[in-house]
Amino acid sequence: MLDRSRPHGRSSGNLRPAAGDASTAHYWLMRRELGPGLDDPGWPAPVRPVEFTAQNALAVHQLLALGREYGGGQVADYATWLNAFETDPEFDQALCFVVEDALGVVAVAQCWTSAFIRNLVVHPRAHRQGLGLALLNQLFAVFRQRGEGYVDLKVMESNLGARRLYERAGMQYIQRHELEPR
């Protein structure tokens, strides 16, 4: 039996959770290589990517907090989170990808400068419209332009919808980890 709790390198081949794996006590590190052949974002209508600004920062934070309720993860309180763009070298406003529809901020992906997707959230009103995949393709292209070889993220094993999205985006399972007891 494969011990998925230990680290695996590139040689792990077809490492992936079994169909029924949905532990709430484990998460996966996933990776997307950024070689040639990246897909065009192909934004679904009627959304549009916009810059992260002081004007949409609160709405972005609110969507990140909403995403925490559905998929886990952590988001600091608004003031701490916003201040990190000025004080934390991993935070870069250019790596906070924001998408709006007619009602406002509908999707966000906040990435770190270390080519890591910290948070990705699509508002429930826009689920199953291709927005998550388009957002991933956009950030893959940006990181490739920045000279990165790959992008990583962590996903809860129990977050089956997110895992399916990341698999469709070409991400591979790298390591399975147990959550730290609280």
- State pLDDT tens for residues 27-50: 999 999 998 777 777 888 889 999
The terminus-to-terminus CA distance of the chain in angstroms comes to: 29
> Taking 90 as the threshold, does the pLDDT of residue 15 lie above it?
no
pLDDT for 4: 37
Report the pLDDT value the prediction gives residue 69, as an integer from 0 to 100.
Answer: 78
pTM for the whole structure: 0.86
The residues with which 26 forms a beta bridge, in sequence order, are: 178
> Alpha-carbon distance 67 to 82, whole Å?
17
Please report how many Cα atoms fall inside a 13 Å half-sphere around the Cα of residue 136, on the Cβ side.
27
Q: List the helix and strand counts (H, then E) for the chain.
A: 4, 7
Greater confidence (147 vs 74) lies with 147
Summary mean pLDDT of the chain: 87
